[in-house]
Amino acid sequence: MIPASQNAVGRPRASSRTVIEDAAAELFLENTYALTTIEQITQRAGVSRNTFFNYFDAKSDVLWVELDAAIDRLALELQAVPRGRPALAEMRAATIRVVSDIGVDRVPLALTQDDVMGTAEETRVSGLARLARRSDLIADFLAGQLYRSPNDLLVLSAANALSGAISAAWTVWARDGIGRRPLAEYMAEAFDVVSAGLETALSRTSLAE
Amino acid sequence: MIPASQNAVGRPRASSRTVIEDAAAELFLENTYALTTIEQITQRAGVSRNTFFNYFDAKSDVLWVELDAAIDRLALELQAVPRGRPALAEMRAATIRVVSDIGVDRVPLALTQDDVMGTAEETRVSGLARLARRSDLIADFLAGQLYRSPNDLLVLSAANALSGAISAAWTVWARDGIGRRPLAEYMAEAFDVVSAGLETALSRTSLAE
DNA sequence: GCATAATATTGTACTGAGTCCAACAATAGA
DNA sequence: TCTATTGTTGGACTCAGTACAATATTATGC
């Protein structure tokens, strides 16, 4: 077994987590996600196979570190919004704030895999789990702002729609390659496409019923 | 090994596919999805484990037979729409037509599992794969009608949003339990929530650029 | 410094999904 | 009846993910 010191020889020893992430990123690019095993990753990282599962619940989690972090930040932003504020405007602002510091070159690992949004169901499906988490988050937020239930058809539709639009922004941004503009711009566009109609639908029902 | 005749003793022998579906449905309800193994399913169905994979690519596929069929029908409906017709109106009609024959009691197997939309990521994620397939479908359709690329941010946002709304309709419909109204009604509501804004956004850009 | 508690890492053994392929059975058609 | 096709099976395999106990590492109090 390769000693852990291989990755950091004098410098302050990198955390296992980082070492694993780096090794995984390398191998995914070399051999694709599907053909890379967790054993290979941990071997290259110089840790045991079990250590992988100390830091990640699933192989696919490594693909989505950036996106997961962005969703975490979105959760915090939304929590900080006082109740009663205009829901969609706050959502829009929070969404854009969250991605505003993501440089044009820092594309999430998952999205650099060209099989992600293509045929490879495996990677795509794990990405959809993030979409679902974000939908839940948004549904809770909207429900809170509109004093409705997160299970409400209207709330859920709006949340899913917004989450879908955000997802589209990420996808197109990643696909646009080198010449891409900042993610925040894509986010704003995608958001506005769907939010125009939501605005009226949501305001109408918050008065009625 | 139990002979296949156990499930159909005189009657015309049911296809392996149906036998497997039924066995799976029973076991999922008895022991939950997660705790049911493919081996148990095929054992009860009276076929070999491999036969399962003759009919399904994954264990989770059994959960989504109805939804997959609905998406297949949607694909056919959309293909039949002549180019140039108003995209959203046709989408709405097709969506509702597709689910109009789904009775209030025929809830997809997946949605009767109460862990589906709850904590159980496993079942939920497989459902999201359907959402993605539907998004692709819709994106292609919209792209065709609007003479744009299916990778266009606008098209993709709209497709994801619509697919998300449809998903919300299914979810709430299933959750509403015994007293639920026909699925088509939920579908219409969810659809209208998001499509109002899309209408303007899509028409605006089909003229511009 | 040292003892101790908390945390990180590892080994081992296991379950179950999904793949591959070759053998075999059933069926339909000529 | 022979034959081509399709459905079914057995067996051996890979790999993700889980469980748990043992050991190493690091932090903390003294």
DSSP A37-77: -HHHHHHHHTS-HHHHHHH-SSGGGGGGHHHHHHHHHHHHH
Q: Nucleotides on strand D with an atom closer than 7 A to protein CB?
A: 7-11, 14-20, 26
Helix axes A121-146, B121-146, angle to 10 degrees: 90
> Which residue in the set B160, B186, B196 is minimally distant from A165, CB to CB?
B160
Total number of residues shown for chain A: 209
pLDDT at residue B21 greater than cutoff 50:
yes
**Nearest residue of A to residue B151, measured between CA atoms:** A172
- High-pLDDT (> 90) share of chain B, %: 59
Query: Which of A91, A157, A171 best tests the B interface by mutation, with the highest count of B CBs <10 A?
Result: A157
Residues 91-150 in B contacting A (C-alpha not used; CB under 8 Å): 121, 124-126, 128-129, 131-132, 135
Q: What does each C-alpha distance from B44 to A156, B11, B70, B194 come to in angstroms?
A: 38, 18, 28, 44
pLDDT at residue number B3: 37
CA A116 to C1' C20, in angstroms, rounded, equals 25
Going by the DSSP 8-state scheme, the letter that residue B82 receives in this structure is P
Fold of A12-56: Arc Repressor Mutant, subunit A (1.10.10)
**Nearest residue of A to residue B175, measured between CA atoms:** A151
Given CA atoms B74, B182, B103, A198 in this order, what sign does their dihedral have?
positive
pLDDT at residue B48 greater than cutoff 70:
yes
* Chosen CATH of A62-204 out of 3.20.20.70, 3.40.190.10, 1.10.357.10, 1.10.3720.10: 1.10.357.10
Architecture of domain B62-207 in this structure: Orthogonal Bundle (1.10)
More confident residue, A22 or B123: A22
Domain assignments of chain A as residue spans, ordered by start: 12-56, 62-204
How far apart CA A166 and CA B97 sit, in angstroms, is 29
pLDDT at residue number B203: 73
Going by the DSSP 8-state scheme, the letter that residue B143 receives in this structure is H
Show Cβ contacts of residue A20 under 8 Å, excluding neighbours closer than 6 positions: A41, A42, A45, A47, A51, A52, A55, A56, A62
Spans of chain A below 50 pLDDT = 1-11, 116-119, 207-209
Q: How large is the average pLDDT for residues B77-96?
A: 94
How far apart CA A137 and CA A145 sit, in angstroms, is 12
**Identity (one letter) of the amino acid at A186?**
Y
How far apart CA A157 and CA A154 sit, in angstroms, is 5
Tell me how crowded residue A137 is: count the other CB atoms within 10 A of its CB: 18
Q: For B64-75, give the secondary structure using H, E and C.
A: HHHHHHHHHHHH
Q: Say which residue the tokens 């609905």 belong to.
A: B70
pLDDT at residue B118 greater than cutoff 50:
no
CA A43 to C1' C3, in angstroms, rounded, equals 35
CA B66 to C1' D9, in angstroms, rounded, equals 28
Per the CB < 8 A criterion, the answer to whether B174 and B186 are in contact is: no
pLDDT at residue B204 greater than cutoff 90:
no
> Which residue in the set B154, B157, B169 is minimally distant from A153, CB to CB?
B169
**Nearest residue of A to residue B183, measured between CA atoms:** A153
pLDDT at residue number B153: 95
How far apart CA B104 and CA A108 sit, in angstroms, is 42
Domains B12-56 and B62-207 share a fold: no
How far apart CA A132 and CA B34 sit, in angstroms, is 19
pLDDT, tens only, B127-169: 889 999 999 999 999 999 999 999 899 999 999 999 999 999 9
Give the H or E element holding residue A103: none
Cβ of residue B163 closer than 8 Å to a chain A Cβ:
yes
How far apart CA A51 and CA A31 sit, in angstroms, is 22
* B156·A162 Cβ contact <8 A: no
pLDDT at residue number A197: 79
Q: Report the candidate in B17, B187, B193, B126 with the shortest Cα–Cα distance to residue A162.
A: B193
pLDDT at residue number B199: 80
Average pLDDT, chain B: 85
How far apart CA A178 and CA A98 sit, in angstroms, is 22
Helices (H), chain A: 16-31, 38-45, 49-55, 65-80, 87-99, 109-112, 121-146, 153-175, 183-207
Q: How large is the average pLDDT for residues B50-55?
A: 97
